[in-house]
Structure 1
Amino acid sequence: MASGKIIKLVVFELLEFAAFSIPTLVIMEQFANAYQETKFAGDRTHYWLIVSCSIAYVALVSLLIWVPIKIVLYKKRHLYKKIIGWRPALMMCVMLTTLPSFAFSIAVTEVQKNVNGSVNLLPESLPDLPVSLVLLSLIVVDIIEKLRIYPLRGSQKSYEDNDVQITSLQQVKTVTERVVQGAAANPASAQAAKPAAMSQPCHHAAAVFAGPVEPSFHSGILRTMSRRDVRAELLLRSFLTWSDTIEMLRVAGHPAVYKSGWLYPVYIFSFISLLRMVFTPKNPLLNSLGVLLQDLPFIFLRLSLIIALGTITPVLGLCKNILVAVSYIYFNYITKLRPFSAFETSPF
């Protein structure tokens, strides 16, 4: 009987391959159907030609790129360990699936314009299935890549509380070591300065890390409701991370957008924001890349859409992008300047 690790590996690889291949086939079929409308209704030659080309494309990139890379990463573990900060599976999905899917989604609208002869005769809204399918496939691959390091059976506690405690102890230890080193460098004043120096860092550390007291439940229904598992939270965060891009692509289905030239910047900036998926979740560059690749471009795009077409994109999304970008710049860079460098703690 196959072991649990083999079953997990096979299921994960099948799901990733489905997420890699299905979106391209679906969107290419829609493009073939739209293109067929420009020809004679009884002749299906162009339709089947485009469908066969899409199948050939998926088969080609799967056999020449997807499968060989997967085999090499599975067989050569030392090569896999050298890949630091980015994920090959997400890179292949973004470049080989998402990019052509977005391109042919735009091509569908262009073909429909040529068929109807006027943008006013286009459908009232674009179908949501292609865009949702592309994003869902990326999120599925993202979740699978994150879940690989966790077992799927048994209980698993969240590591957030442990990380906070370890971080606090490390910083308190660092402060203590600095005091000890300073005392060793000046032994004459070590005895006089030691009590005050040791008490002040402890009070300072307590002020830094003190927060509201959280409740804890040890029995009854409240204990059951308070259970946390990092694997369940992982799925929730994976969808919440891309809610902004999902909302932006939803705007592309508005008639005022896809009937005009605004469709191109919406798809281009949405694709640029998806490039963050390639990087690992704990990559130190991920926060800055999130601001550069998503929030800053979305500020200008949403502001332009609101000025030109009205509030077809939520103002809340614009506020979110502005607040995230401003807070990142302020807390990471402006607070390093002298007028803003004074450390303050709240008394509450």
Structure 2
Amino acid sequence: MLLEVENLSIRIAAVTPVADLSFSVDRGEILGLVGESGSGKSLTALAVTGLLGRIGGTVSSGAIRFDGRDLARMPEPSLRALRGKRIAFITQNPMTALDPIDTIGNQIDIVAKLHLKLSAADARRRTIDILSQLRIPEAAALCDAYPHQLSGGMKQRIVIAMALSGEPDLIVADEPTTALDVTVQAQIVAILSRLVKERNVALMLITHDMGVVAQVCDRVAVLYAGRQAETRAVGPLFAHPAHPYTAALIDCIPRAGMARGSLTGIPGTVPGVAQYPVGCRYHPRCARAGEGCATIVPVQSPLAGGGTVACHYPLEEPAHG
């Protein structure tokens, strides 16, 4: 397994916004990290990419094993050697991910120069090749353009090209389609899915869009208020969700032929880290909440068909024995 996260907890100042996360992703596979805003998805991405320190966060417990090495215990110089080369990070907003006063070509070239030690000429040839692979027309001419001359969808393709330039084994994409219109979102998701198969890389796709998850992911980890609700293969998860929160997220997906006004929502909001409830953090919003939910933290239990769920009253009974 290329990336294995085990019992990961994150601490910022006096709070623990993420606790006891465990998941894995291998080459040629797409893992979806899903949940509403405030679930801890982006903090998890920063932990995996070794960037928690930039916001004053630390890994307080657990392990993040990348190709057998624990990133959580790795010194910054070693992390810097991996980041951009073997581990690539695609941020949420392509509008702010690029330097507005430098050309597109230079911004992609620098990754290959730094991490692959290529000459300026070889780096530019590599940049043009990657842009062509992303089906960007007139790739050579685009290298001389500036970010303000490009559409949002084209900017996101450039950010993806920068991620690919270092020949990564793992790509962490933090809501890469959030700032784009629906048509362009579909194009970007298709590009990422194709790259995973063609380049045999691992993709950790962070999103709140269950439709995207259903379309491209192999496995899914559902997060709520910094804890893991359910993790399993995408097919069983959508066919028979075990956690009430997973089922509620799926019910929020619009479907063809739905009657007007029949789309449901989840009452309430994800609590802030200072207001996390005791016991199961979802219980104030859960229709199945019962005895123990408000006092006892549910543990991850294996499901008969594979995967795990953390719920006192799951929709599918955990396997026993």
- Alignment TM-score > 0.5, same fold: no
| Richer in helix (by share) | 1
TM-score class normalised by the smaller sequence: under 0.3
Give TM-score, length-normalised by structure 1. Answer: 0.23
| Richer in strand (by share) | 2
Give TM-score, length-normalised by structure 2. Answer: 0.25
Max Rg structure: 1
